[in-house]
Amino acid sequence: MTPRLGVCYYPEHWPEDMWAEDAREMVEMGLSLVRIGEFAWSRLEPREGEFHFEWLDRAINTLGSAGLKVVLGTPSATPPKWIVDKFPDMLAVDKEGRPRKFGSRRHYCFSHQGYREFAAQMASRLAERYADNDHIEFWQTDNEYGCHDTTLSYSDNARKAFRHWLKERYGNKPLNETWGNVFWSMDYETFDDVDLPNLTVTEPNPAHSMDFRRFTSEQVRNWDLAQVEAIRKHCSKPISHNYMGRITEFDHFRLGDHLDIATWDSYPLGFLEDRSDRDEEFKHTFSRMGDPDFQAFHHDLYRTVGKGRWGVMEQQPGPVNWAPYNPAPKPGMVRVWSHEAFAHGAEFVCYFRWRQPSFAQEQMHTALKRPDNTPYPVCDEIRHVATEIRNLTHARPKAEIGLVFDYRSQWAWEIQPQGQGFDYFKLVFEYYGALRQLGVNIDIVDLEKSGLSDYKALIIPGLFAFSDAMKEQLDNFKGHLILGPRTNSKDENFKTNLTSVSAQLGKPISLDMVESLRPGTVVELVNGGHFKIWNECHKTEAQTEELKADGYPAVIRNGKCVYMAGWPNSEKLLEVIETELTKAGCKTYKQPGYNRRQSIGMHEFQLNYEAQSAVIKG
Ligand code: GAL
């Protein structure tokens, strides 16, 4: 199978007499996939019970007859005004208790049962109508769960559902004891006494907050499942969802369990400006190329979420409109980004969007074509990619190294950072960056479910609490294990776990003290390098491989297991990882600067994120 290109298209935005020519041009450009429909509710059902599917029939037919395969989105990210009027309590409520308003998108609360059923019914209607339509290749549910900070909702419906969830989870188990509610006289008499953990005077009980985060994640999953079940009643075609970059409020692995394909929306320049921890100088240097590791991290993540089947549903083609600054990509970068996705095993890359509208919120967001229908120069770049990928065979990249990412750990350390600089995503991303400098293929691992037998080395930084399933996986793992700070330092109920990684290390390890460090404060390591942000002081019977200036071990080893007792500076991190990978028998390919390497099947990709051209030695 050859990887494919596609585009996002909104037939409802353009006069119908443009559709056929648009479709012809898409095919001529080398595109074979087109996604439509995901925001079209007000045109499909302008008033309750009044359906207008005929225009969509014609759009699908026009696109399909031109030779395109259609991805059909369910329109639930944009409930129209009449639905909000029907269910005024369906709006999500923010942490400050303010309802979100109608007038943009994603304004619903995942806990509103009425809207959940409405959305599932719409999905069911679409599936019934198009189940046998050969032009449709697969489905997309909703659009970008969690985008615009819309996962956590503090509505009355959420409160009611949370209480119910607690009853189901704890039943007769003593909630007060499990959470430790004796502290500050927080004991509850019944589950109905428990409120949502917002608007408290100071921080709520972390166990309470953690359960709210678990509950919320499950609400998103169940919300999606309602649509998936509705579609599957009529249609057996694959179902996908388009995830976003660095959205961590729900567990994507668990949502992905019931989907067939994972897709994600890749906006390298928007992400660098909008959601990156890099410093100003870095942002300045890479403002037209994007972060050299951010896209790849998500490619590897969503390959796991999709259980191997994944693609880029929205690829930035030019300046966007939503980041603090919106520069144009350096000519050639759209080609680099597209190939990078294929190098990580994407089945397709779709560009966002076909034509730039001259109206509404995204009128400043570029596309492949301008509002007057003339093409942007990026169209030539895309044509070029379309020719290049003809000789590429789609495959799943093989990796000897697994890096664990765990959504619960993101929630846990948001709830209890213990130091402003401690962010779980940032920690894992720094490990990922070190691996990328070594030019190796990486799998992002879901420790609950991914099989581990392919890996010579497994890396686990900052994982909050090992579940029983995770413990079992690790007990059976035969390769090298690199564990980072804070790993397993809690139990699942957010109680301190004093034995942390003793089981994995095979020797007791006990914590004397932990401290967080303000920017600029570091703890030196005796043989060079330092810990920043986070420092742990342990006693252990395992071997001290490196010592800190405070007299405690920095790197602890027993056999194939290594524990880093703090957050290392980047050179130290690279050194420790490189040494361990060599011991594990992994071949590494140190990269010059920000060139990146990835291999797939017979192909090796070299991706140049530097501003200047690079010469590759064969
Ligand atoms: C995505 C979204 C699209 C569009 C795009 C603009 O997050 O899915 O609908 O808004 O951003 O960059």
| Closest to 471 measured CA to CA, from 484, 487, 457 | 487
Token pair belonging to 490: 């809690």
Return phi, psi of residue 213, to 5°.
-65, -40
According to DSSP, the residues that pair with 538 across neighbouring strands are 511
Angle 279-147-84 (CA atoms, 0-180°, nearest 5)?
A: 150
CA–CA gap between residue 338 and residue 312 (Å, rounded): 9
For the chain, give the percent of residues with pLDDT over 90. 96
Q: Which residues of 287-301 are buried (b: 16+ CB within 10 A; e: fewer)?
A: bebbbbbbbbbbbbb
Fold classification of 4-391 is TIM Barrel (3.20.20)
Average pLDDT across the chain, whole number: 97
Instruction: Tell me which of 36, 145, 314 to substitute to probe ligand 1's pocket, judged by most ligand atoms within 8 Å of the beta carbon.
Output: 314
Ligand 1 atom at shortest distance from the alpha carbon of 270: 12
CA–CA gap between residue 207 and residue 517 (Å, rounded): 25
Mean pLDDT of 510-533: 97
CA–CA gap between residue 603 and residue 343 (Å, rounded): 8
CA–CA gap between residue 30 and residue 24 (Å, rounded): 10
What is the model's pLDDT at position 614?
A: 82
Mean pLDDT of 559-572: 98
Mean pLDDT of 588-607: 94
CA–CA gap between residue 382 and residue 354 (Å, rounded): 12
DSSP 8-state symbol, 40 = -
Task: Tell whether the torsion through CA atoms of 188, 192, 196 and 200 is positive or negative.
Answer: negative
Return phi, psi of residue 108, to 5°.
-105, 155
User: What is the SS3 assignment for 477?
Assistant: coil
Q: Label residue 172 by pLDDT band (50, 70, 90).
A: confident
How are beta strands 401-404 and 348-351 bridged, if at all? unpaired
The domain 401-587 is placed in CATH, from the list 3.30.70.1150, 3.40.640.10, 1.10.246.90, 3.40.50.880, at 3.40.50.880
Ligand 1 atom at shortest distance from the alpha carbon of 320: 12
Q: What is the number of other CB atoms lying within 10 angstroms of the CB of residue 21?
A: 12
**Which are the contacts of 581, defined by CB distance < 8 A and separation ≥ 6?**
401, 438, 440, 456, 457, 480, 588
Return phi, psi of residue 127, to 5°.
-65, -40
CA–CA gap between residue 375 and residue 446 (Å, rounded): 42
Angle 384-389-394 (CA atoms, 0-180°, nearest 5)?
A: 160
CA–CA gap between residue 59 and residue 10 (Å, rounded): 10
Rounded to the nearest angstrom, the gap between the alpha carbon of residue 392 and the centroid of all alpha carbons in its chain is 26
Could you tell me the distance, in angstroms and rounded to a whole number, from the CA of residue 147 to the centre of ligand 1?
A: 9
* Percent of the chain as helix, strand, coil, to the nearest 5: 35, 20, 45
Mean pLDDT of 499-515: 95
What residue's CA is closest to ligand 1, atom 6?
A: 320
Instruction: Tell me which of 145, 148, 265 to substitute to probe ligand 1's pocket, judged by most ligand atoms within 8 Å of the beta carbon.
Output: 265
Instruction: Tell me which of 7, 362, 364 to substitute to probe ligand 1's pocket, judged by most ligand atoms within 8 Å of the beta carbon.
Output: 362
Res. 10: pLDDT tops 80: yes
What is the model's pLDDT at position 393?
A: 87
Active site residues: 144, 314
Task: Give 343-402 pLDDT, tens digit per residue.
Answer: 999 999 999 999 999 999 999 999 999 999 999 999 999 999 999 999 898 889 999 999
Token pair belonging to 314: 């929205």
Return phi, psi of residue 355, to 5°.
-130, 140
CB 227 within 8 A of CB 108: no
Task: Give 14-59 pLDDT, tens digit per residue.
Answer: 999 999 999 999 999 999 999 999 999 999 999 999 999 999 999 9
Mean pLDDT of 580-599: 96
Task: Give 331-345 pLDDT, tens digit per residue.
Answer: 999 999 999 999 999
CB 293 within 8 A of CB 432: yes
What is the model's pLDDT at position 340?
A: 98
CA–CA gap between residue 551 and residue 537 (Å, rounded): 9
Token pair belonging to 460: 């686990």
Task: Give 80-129 pLDDT, tens digit per residue.
Answer: 999 999 999 999 999 999 999 999 999 999 999 999 999 999 999 999 99
What is the model's pLDDT at position 319?
A: 98
What is the model's pLDDT at position 499?
A: 87
Could you tell me the distance, in angstroms and rounded to a whole number, from the CA of residue 281 to the centre of ligand 1?
A: 27
What is the model's pLDDT at position 616?
A: 75
Res. 498: pLDDT tops 90: no
Return phi, psi of residue 538, to 5°.
-115, 155
Could you tell me the distance, in angstroms and rounded to a whole number, from the CA of residue 246 to the centre of ligand 1?
A: 14
Token pair belonging to 432: 């990922």
| Closest to 402 measured CA to CA, from 453, 468, 352 | 453
CA–CA gap between residue 341 and residue 335 (Å, rounded): 10
How are beta strands 523-524 and 595-600 bridged, if at all? unpaired
Q: Label residue 281 by pLDDT band (50, 70, 90).
A: very high
Domain ranges of the chain: 4-391, 401-587
Ligand 1 atom at shortest distance from the alpha carbon of 316: 12
* Ligand 1 site, CB within 6 A: 143-144, 147, 265, 267, 314, 320, 322, 352, 362, 365
Res. 618: pLDDT tops 70: no
What is the model's pLDDT at position 176?
A: 97
Tell me the chain's radius of gyration from C-alpha atoms: 25
| Closest to 407 measured CA to CA, from 122, 210, 575, 133 | 210
CA–CA gap between residue 556 and residue 545 (Å, rounded): 6
Instruction: Give the global pTM.
Output: 0.98
Token pair belonging to 418: 């213990």
Res. 560: pLDDT tops 70: yes
Angle 394-300-481 (CA atoms, 0-180°, nearest 5)?
A: 125
| Closest to 256 measured CA to CA, from 203, 306, 309, 183 | 306
